[in-house]
Structure 1
């Protein structure tokens, strides 16, 4: 096997010690004639002709294949060596993401299927394993031309164009295994409550029936013990609230914020008798997101969002970041430019990105990868994937808003189609039912139904027009950017915070890339002045805008409207962009 890319733990919010990364070189094959199943490729007893670097999709350079053509059915194969430390435990196989329909075999035994290109899945493969010569086979089926599929920015035509980029097919996030006891902690939902100085824990278990077990919870802050409690387990679910009496330490708040990303560490131990049979480590941040008196608040104080739109694409990895260092660098660059948040656009981001946002202090708006057209089948696919997305990421303190729909993608006739309106309303209420602690935006940009934030996309570049347009609430809500009404009839503006969540998009060619933007700059000075013209109107007392999201962090393929090039080189000094973001 070659050097393993992306060797860091892929699930930093719920880690066990016994785990094995399966990234690296796998056997690979295109199956354009769709004969693999009938020819028995799933049995694992025949080699595949190509080699690919997992977790990179075959369209990317880092995969070692770099083929942009449409190949909707692909196969993977590799051997599995089970570590000795896994003996006597269950072996759980994890996939971070496989686009779009995955089937998984171990030694010819079908162990899992999963539909959804952006969400993780896992399966117990213990019974399918042999003492030696184990083979893992994965079949991935994509639907590149299907515009009703949740796809985000992946284009359905052959070549990237306009706002759409290279497709992703197959495995594109880390594959890994872990050893888990026969009775184990499945997951824990952690809900901070700063008003009560408490953390609410919803713990879920597997294999606990008929056994006398206890859950021990240990909370520390910067290595110092905070609280330790132990509970008897009588069911496969346990809800408890733990008070954190140290939330104010010698007058200093331990709340999480972008300025002070303070995190508590927490260890969950499943105990039988005197033995710890399962243990997982995690962390949480004590913070609150609310809307008070028409203001978006963080920790009960008004919060002005200075965000950047982040597509999460990379020159060599496409949707997959090349390394953990590259992920961290994106977060650090974002903060160095004076932004306090990022709107991850049309992509469920790698958990390692959210980890670094939690740790370094950057708020995130989590947005679904949308479809483009509406059908009843789309509704089923999208709803399932969005539910899995919220479940995966709800514990991250950095996430402060959920965005299931953007610019009427998937609901193109929402302005007049009651069925599409009902879908947007259903996604709003479904998200609130899964997580009542964060605001939900029903359709970011325009044609909003019921929504917690009133978000507008406006690529106007003239300063005087922006100043006038957003000087009063009445002017702001009556504007029609892209010739779209901001609210669907029957859902008038109801006093929500107004944010400009896409604007700018100034193109400036500073690399070999050719491309476009929403307006253009000729040189560094022109670019700086254009940035000032679109950002500074929202820093004065005369603006009703409570936050913004600048388009965008980096150039991406044919788009050259980034603050950074595609290779993450600043187009003008970072400190200059920071000064503009600070209203200087």
Structure 2
């Protein structure tokens, strides 16, 4: 193993799921024992029962990052972790749940030498009930093996699948990359609450899910906080594990009877769920929701029944020392506040399912989010299975965030390379569209962002033309592009064969990508030499998009530089390249 490096110390001590928070938990981030296993001998040699790892790693940062203390970018297919923990005596009568917010890719877990489960996928959260294998009077030992690959059949997003960076693909991430923690639950607990705002009726639909039904009578109390002095309480007596309740939140505290969530005023209602069994309080979860509605009417996207012009930034969520893992809440907030300061009202989270803490702060600060799945890069039965399973987990897990207004399962035909003509690949995207709609019929779903759309609620087009006049001339005749008469991006057409424009909203979801000549890397088109040249090109292209009456928004590439791709408005260390106010002036024109 590479000698441990010295770098800034990062700690992730925050509760990882602020939208579903319990008070009884223990953070397992920090120093773990660690080992590579390139020859894959660990399981046969029973490392899970007798680990003797001599190296260390800082969780939740992968070994490829500087923050991990290792910083080795060479791909290793198998990595092992080990640490001990002790159960506090006050939790001795509870179920102990071991939770992983994200680990890439196939994670296997043993506690005290006993296998407790595995999970495949790099971006979804997962957990194991380890109550039956822990001891209460001594230290317990958790051992984790993570298997990764360079396969293009697994959802990998912008992680490279060869041994060096290329194009817009970056260093891979292997292993635990988000928080690991313990949570202590009663025998019967609240597994999940799906919250759906019903803006038109001033109500919220709560769908409760218990882990099991108790033998004694139980009830779930829902407490919605309106202000310091006003709450509303509602109870439901479930007859099965899944129950539903629609609650009115009309209140005389506000002239419109209800506070809407908007980018300008991202109001959140705090809500607490209490589970009583035989009239005893056994479980309590704190959460929140936002009253907002996303819909489509004709060629317009509506927020709370009013058209919204979306000004987005393509945001890939990479940091210098921590790569995909946000280094801190402060770093997350800095990105959001600088995005807002530049006059943008949202981000398209590109090829990454973001940390729940990021989504929490977007909820709090009113930043709109397009949530995009990490792509596979080849099409096969295995790729279909891997993608579908994980995408379903992600939509369920992130459903409650009001900031998420659009789902983007596919981008630029990645993973479906022959979608233009291949019916099998086309029907796969249709299946994902309808699967997503079956889980969430409230948000638009885009298939396939960039070009070659099949069935899609929004037509999202990519074009890195650098001359505003040429851009405008290409798109001024709406039918030319949307009826597949001409390609709009290097031979790519707006629709796959057999699919047609049906009047959906149109948004330019990638453009710009301007880089400076003195930067060591690449951007789209010719690089500029001065800030004045940058602003002139940026303004001309942005103005050309705004002149198109049928286009209802845009997404500029991109928020920050990422490794060799240097077309960010901010450097990778978040230093602005252009005065933020000047960017805002263009967006506000």
TM range (shorter): over 0.9
- Structure 1 counterpart of 2:506, from 473, 486, 498: 498
Shift of 1:515: 3.5
Number of the residue aligned with 2:384? 379
- Structure 2 counterpart of 1:544, from 550, 554, 562: 550
> Whole-Å Cα distance in 1 between the matches of residues 256 and 390 of structure 2?
43
Q: Any residues of structure 2 matched to 1:194-209 within 5 Å, and which?
A: 194-209=199-214
- Could you report, residue by residue, the CA deviation over 1:437-465 in whole angstroms, capped at 9, with x for unpaired residues? 00000110000001100110010111101
TM-score, length-scaled by structure 2: 0.96
- Structure 2 counterpart of 1:422, from 421, 427, 431: 427
User: Partner of 1:535: helix, strand, or coil?
Assistant: helix
- Could you report, residue by residue, the CA deviation over 1:377-434 in whole angstroms, capped at 9, with x for unpaired residues? 1000100000001011000000001000000000000111111011111111111111
> Whole-Å Cα distance in 2 between the matches of residues 247 and 41 of structure 1?
62
- Structure 2 counterpart of 1:100, from 95, 99, 105: 105
- Structure 2 counterpart of 1:448, from 444, 453, 470: 453
Shift of 1:224: 4.2
Supply the RMSD in Å over aligned alpha carbons: 1.5
Shift of 1:177: 0.7
- Could you report, residue by residue, the CA deviation over 1:60-114 in whole angstroms, capped at 9, with x for unpaired residues? 0000000000101000000012123322100100001111001000000111100
Deviates more, 1:333-342 or 1:472-481: 472-481
User: Where do 4+ consecutive residues of structure 1 move more than 4 Å?
Assistant: none
User: Partner of 2:507: helix, strand, or coil?
Assistant: strand
> Whole-Å Cα distance in 2 between the matches of residues 310 and 509 of structure 1?
22
Shift of 1:544: 2.0
Q: Any residues of structure 2 matched to 1:51-66 within 5 Å, and which?
A: 51-66=56-71
Number of the residue aligned with 2:281? 276
Change in Cα spacing, 1:217 to 1:311, as seen in structure 2 (3 Å) is same
> Whole-Å Cα distance in 2 between the matches of residues 362 and 247 of structure 1?
28
- Could you report, residue by residue, the CA deviation over 1:1-43 in whole angstroms, capped at 9, with x for unpaired residues? x977110000011000001110000000000111111111111
> Whole-Å Cα distance in 2 between the matches of residues 370 and 566 of structure 1?
23
Kept in 1, the 8 Å contact 2:299–2:550? The answer is: no
Number of the residue aligned with 1:529? 536
Kept in 1, the 8 Å contact 2:315–2:350? The answer is: yes
Kept in 1, the 8 Å contact 2:218–2:279? The answer is: no
Number of the residue aligned with 2:80? 75
Shift of 1:293: 2.5
Shift of 1:479: 4.1
Number of the residue aligned with 2:13? 7
- Structure 1 counterpart of 2:299, from 269, 294, 298: 294
Number of the residue aligned with 1:434? 439
User: Partner of 1:506: helix, strand, or coil?
Assistant: coil
- Structure 2 counterpart of 1:572, from 567, 578, 582: 578
Kept in 2, the 8 Å contact 1:248–1:254? The answer is: no
Kept in 2, the 8 Å contact 1:460–1:504? The answer is: yes
Change in Cα spacing, 1:231 to 1:174, as seen in structure 2 (3 Å) is same
> Whole-Å Cα distance in 2 between the matches of residues 305 and 516 of structure 1?
23
Kept in 2, the 8 Å contact 1:411–1:420? The answer is: yes
> Whole-Å Cα distance in 1 between the matches of residues 110 and 552 of structure 2?
51
User: Partner of 1:390: helix, strand, or coil?
Assistant: helix
Shift of 1:473: 1.7
Shift of 1:508: 2.0
> Whole-Å Cα distance in 1 between the matches of residues 174 and 228 of structure 2?
42
The answer for unaligned runs of 5 or more in structure 2 is 1-7
- Could you report, residue by residue, the CA deviation over 1:322-341 in whole angstroms, capped at 9, with x for unpaired residues? 11111111111111111000
User: Partner of 1:468: helix, strand, or coil?
Assistant: helix
Kept in 2, the 8 Å contact 1:208–1:236? The answer is: yes
Q: Any residues of structure 2 matched to 1:206-355 within 5 Å, and which?
A: 206-246=211-251, 249-251=254-256, 254-355=259-360
> Whole-Å Cα distance in 2 between the matches of residues 252 and 407 of structure 1?
43
- Structure 1 counterpart of 2:469, from 451, 464, 468: 464
> Whole-Å Cα distance in 2 between the matches of residues 502 and 555 of structure 1?
15
Matched, 1:554 2:567: no
User: Partner of 1:41: helix, strand, or coil?
Assistant: coil
Kept in 1, the 8 Å contact 2:481–2:494? The answer is: no
> Whole-Å Cα distance in 1 between the matches of residues 542 and 458 of structure 2?
20
> Whole-Å Cα distance in 2 between the matches of residues 3 and 530 of structure 1?
40
Kept in 1, the 8 Å contact 2:518–2:529? The answer is: no
- How many pairs are equivalent? 578
> Whole-Å Cα distance in 2 between the matches of residues 120 and 359 of structure 1?
22
- Structure 1 counterpart of 2:176, from 159, 171, 177: 171
- Could you report, residue by residue, the CA deviation over 1:290-340 in whole angstroms, capped at 9, with x for unpaired residues? 001221100000010000000111110011111111111111111111100
Number of the residue aligned with 1:24? 30
Number of the residue aligned with 2:5? none
